[in-house]
Chain A
Amino acid sequence: MTATTEAPAKPAPAKAKLRARLVDLSVVAGSALVLAGALLVVAQVDASSARLTLAAAAPPAPLPEAPYVARAASPTSRLIPAPRAKQRVVVVRRSRAS
């Protein structure tokens, strides 16, 4: 008498297939979205390049000038800028006008 064992339950092939198809669909959809966005960017670039081409004949806008910092001139000849103190120290006395 041969023992018969019940065959193990196999996953429903339909569900697996469905899951696989959903994954494929999501990948395809994502790729499509990325491609569409890329196409939009390219279109904008093309449009701006067209505008640039049209504007090429116009004179270029002047570049903003860097601010000019003039070095202070000596009030009279024979003088150089005095050194600048960055800290104060205690002195015995101070020369001052009176």
Chain B
Amino acid sequence: MIATSFRAMGTAWWIHCDRAQDLASAEALVHALEARLSRFAPDSALSQLNRDRQGSCPVLAAVTRRALELRAGTGGAFDPTLGADLVALGYDRSFERLDRHRRHAPASPTSPASIPDTPTPQASTPPVSTQPNTARTPTVVQVDAERVTLLGPGHLDLGGIAKGYAVDRVVDHLLERGATSVLVDGGGDLRGAGPSFPIGVGDGLVIGSRLGAVATSSTRKRRWLGPEHQLVHHLIDPATGRSSDGPLDTATVVAPDAATADALATALLVDAERVLPRLLTFGAHALVRARDGRWWTTPGAPFEVPFTPIVSAAPPRWRPSRPRRPESP
């Protein structure tokens, strides 16, 4: 297996594959998806949609369609229409570009050498149409073939599903090209194909990659000081438009695909009571951490205590004799 690593979508990526010649195209695919789906790129299809309230892009339409299905399946706990609320809370640029004094997260080991402290022009004073949806008027999203239309206030934000979607596409891309052993890690969203790789989850547990895609979300990773100098994080409660305040701070989900795992991990932290009964309908299981630090799982979850194979010891008479050290004078 050959591996490559790079940064995309604000995080570190690793792609392991048994076909070295396809790694470059896999990386290019990730960057191409980011160019279409990032709300921080002013020329992305998503940014154009949020500005013009309609747009046409096959990738954008596919991801939006899937996001809406997940919104319906989670009873609204996962909601891709909260982009304006994130901007109102101060998350108006990629996280590593937030002002240093506002960031309240562990320092990224791969943070760029120079981070501008002044906001980029497109992130200053948002136009009226992007004002926070304080009245909680729902944003209607219509997807018709490759065309996406936004009705009402609010912005589309695909941050809760885009990484997982990209992981799925990379796996498909490599398998189509004849790879037989693949493991893609997009910032902690993982999916494999071929052999089962042990993936670490939670506090020392493991899960085989053959059991599904794995994604983790946490309220403790991306935190910053909001406009009212309160500590906020990036997981928004659709009911309030503010950072969620549930009993869990970390959720790991295993699901048939990475996009679903990504969205469900987010949804669990927003409204666990509503989402937990629905996990099985997605074929998913969860490993979660409560605020007191204790870990919990859904019944029947395939997360395992790791073990090392026990190698049977040879009988004493077969043990090769150790060479004796020469005695010191």
A interface with B by C-beta (< 8 Å): 72, 74-89, 91-98
Contact = CB atoms under 8 A, between A and B. Distances in A.
B323 interface: no
A72 B292 contact: yes
A94 B16 CA distance: 13
The 8 closest A-B pairs by CB, nearest first: A85-B204, A97-B218, A98-B187, A94-B200, A82-B295, A75-B247, A91-B200, A96-B188
B288 A79 contact: yes
Contact of A79 (B187, B188, B250, B296): B296
A86 B204 CA distance: 8
B273 A76 contact: yes
Contact of B203 (A76, A78, A85): A85
B304 A83 contact: yes
Given A82-B303, A98-B187, A75 B295 contact: no
A95 B200 contact: yes
Given A79-B296, A85-B306, A95 B199 contact: yes
B204 A93 contact: no
Contact of B306 (A74, A78, A87, A95): A87
Interface residues of B, number: 55
Given A92-B198, A95-B189, A95-B216, A77 B295 contact: no
Contacts of B158: none
B11 A85 contact: no
A88 B204 contact: yes
A77 B276 contact: yes
A80 B199 contact: no
Contacts of B188: 94-98
B14 interface: yes
A86 B203 CA distance: 10
Nearest to A72: B294
A75 B200 contact: no
B200 A84 contact: no
Nearest to A79: B296
Contacts of B292: 72
Contact of A97 (B183, B205, B220, B303): B220
Nearest to A85: B204
B183 A92 contact: yes
Nearest to A94: B200
A85 B218 contact: no
A82 B299 CA distance: 9
Contacts of A72: 292, 294
B299 A78 contact: yes
Contacts of A83: 205, 297, 303-305
Given A75-B288, A75-B291, 14 more contacts: A72-B292, A75-B247, A75-B272, A80-B296, A82-B203, A82-B287, A82-B303, A85-B203, A85-B305, A89-B206, A91-B198, A94-B188, A95-B188, A97-B220
